[in-house]
Amino acid sequence: MLILCQSCVAYNNYSSTIEEASSEKEMPVKIVTKDGNEYKLSWVEEKDDNIVSIKFTKREYYNKKDITQYVILDPEPRVVPFDQALKHHGAIRLLIRDDKDRYNSHQFIRIGENEEIITGYKMTGYDTLTVIIPIDQIETIQLKDKDKSSDRTAGLVVGVALGVGIIILGAVIASDLSDGWFSQ
């Protein structure tokens, strides 16, 4: 039920700008290219005249000053300087100090830098896929329409509840009929 509710995404009918699409931390985006390809992504970033995303990942943000250690995990774990961690293609673990001076370890498939903010890319599925779309090939960019998506989710919940209710009512009626039919 939860999976169905979370998959109800409606997109705006109008095209948004690249700035609007990339400014949201986690906002479903639908991109249609001039040749008709359609991409549904959880988030997008603009890099080198391209729209870039990694499917089946989410992003987490940390202040650079809070990170006390960068560890690359392959071929074997070792502490490395920030520059080497940033260039590394593979699993990276960050040791982060929180507001209460406790240390927490977070693992990512890669990290990125934007001034004093470090972005960690964490897998949400079994595999990832990097998507790169040249900006000059984009026809439309549509952001999630929060109101329509909520309405669809509510409609789905009501529909499923109504369907389950009908099935239960049918089972009760069938049970009553069979009890009455065989007892005569």
Concatenated DSSP letters of 9-42: --B-SSPPPHHHHHHSSS--EEEEETTS-EEEES
Quick check: is 10 in a domain? Answer: no
Quick check: is 126 in a domain? Answer: yes
Q: In terms of domains, do 102 and 24 share one? A: yes
Q: Looking at 36-45, 58-67, 87-96, 140-149, which range is the least confident one? A: 140-149
Q: In terms of domains, do 65 and 137 share one? A: yes
Q: In terms of domains, do 89 and 152 share one? A: no
pTM of structure: 0.67
The pLDDT > 90 percentage for the chain reads 52
Q: Which long-range contacts (CB under 8 A, 24 or more apart) does 42-49 make?
A: 44/18, 46/18, 46/19, 46/22, 46/135, 49/134, 49/135, 49/136
Closest CA to 141 of 60, 46, 67: 46
Give the amino acid at 169.
Answer: L
Q: In terms of domains, do 168 and 98 share one? A: no
pLDDT in tens, 38-88: 999 989 999 999 999 999 999 999 999 999 999 999 889 999 999 999 999
pLDDT value at residue 150: 46
Q: In terms of domains, do 132 and 153 share one? A: no
Quick check: is 6 in a domain? Answer: no
Structural domain boundaries, residue 127: 15-144
Q: In terms of domains, do 182 and 149 share one? A: yes
Q: In terms of domains, do 113 and 53 share one? A: yes
Q: In terms of domains, do 59 and 103 share one? A: yes
Q: In terms of domains, do 100 and 163 share one? A: no
Q: In terms of domains, do 115 and 165 share one? A: no
C-alpha 120/C-alpha 112 separation (Å) is 7
Quick check: is 91 in a domain? Answer: yes
Tokens encoding 76: 């074997």
Give the number of other CB atoms < 10 A from CB of residue 170: 10
Q: What is the mean pLDDT of residues 87-95?
A: 93
The more confidently predicted of residues 5 and 111 is 111
Which range, 12-26, 33-47, 168-182, has the best average confidence (pLDDT)?
33-47
Pairing of strands 57-63, 50-55: unpaired
Query: How many CA atoms are closer than 13 Å to the CA of 164, on its beta-carbon side?
Result: 7
Q: How many domains does the chain have?
A: 2
pLDDT above 60 (res 1):
no
Q: In terms of domains, do 78 and 165 share one? A: no
Q: In terms of domains, do 88 and 157 share one? A: no
Q: How far is CA 31 from the centre of its chain?
A: 15
